Chains A and B, each alone.
Chain A
Amino acid sequence: MAAEGSFLPGVHIVSGDVGSGKSTLATALAGMMQPAGGTITRDGIGSQMLSFQFPEYHITGLTVGEECRSWSRDPGPVLRECRLAGRGGVSPFALSRGELKRLHLACVLPGRYDLLVLDEPFSSLDVEEKERICREISVRKHGITIIFTHEQAIFPKTDFLWEISGGNLRYRGKVPDALTGWEHAPQVIKNLIASGRCPGNITKMDILEAACRT
């Protein structure tokens, strides 16, 4: 794949089909892989975090509680927040796939990073948890947050839209102006735009507000 562009502070969504190169670009942006050609410059990035699609890759603790502490997080509040209270003594691998993702994101998201790259943060999460994570991302005030996802229903408040198609990264623009050119837009957003009701952003509330317009 080929990519060219600048990621400014704010929340970015990069959408694209499975196999289009999202994880490759995420890894390269986080500096964990050198591109075959070209350069990636991380101006003013003192702290950064890459959250892998598969949370198993991040595990270093033998128990859920140890895993929290390995992120310098207090297990009590973290486990309450991600609905795993009382499970601190079990192995992270004893959790269901979605529970492990919840634990991982609850450890990652409170961090203050100049660059936060989230690869498919919503996959495996239940819908309530997706909404909760989106609310947290929506209020991030600091740094650059880049979300690579094929999610089609639940999104955080987003500043910039990108997508990967035909092997190229394409910048669609600032939300909401970018929505009309968004190839991977969920059907519900396409329907709203076709009926002349372009939502102000892509959160569930923005979509419902647009749908309720008369």
Chain B
Amino acid sequence: MTPVSSETRKRRRPVIDAAIFFIVILLMVQMWLLTATLESYLAGHHEAAAPGMIVSLVLFAAVLGFYRFIVRVEARDRK
């Protein structure tokens, strides 16, 4: 097998950067969600806990999806 040229890698690098950027954005939303849910729980609004967890789960799944995407792109580079 021949290694992927550095030119191809350079072209794919922005794709990985973009995926990491989206992960960071999702993480910031998740961080805000955690503080908002905690604040609302401490204020006695316990009904916000379940939706908060479901949305957090969705965000985590999206982050995991982007991570798998990065690994896949990278694996393609290595072939």
Q: Do A and B come from one complex?
A: no
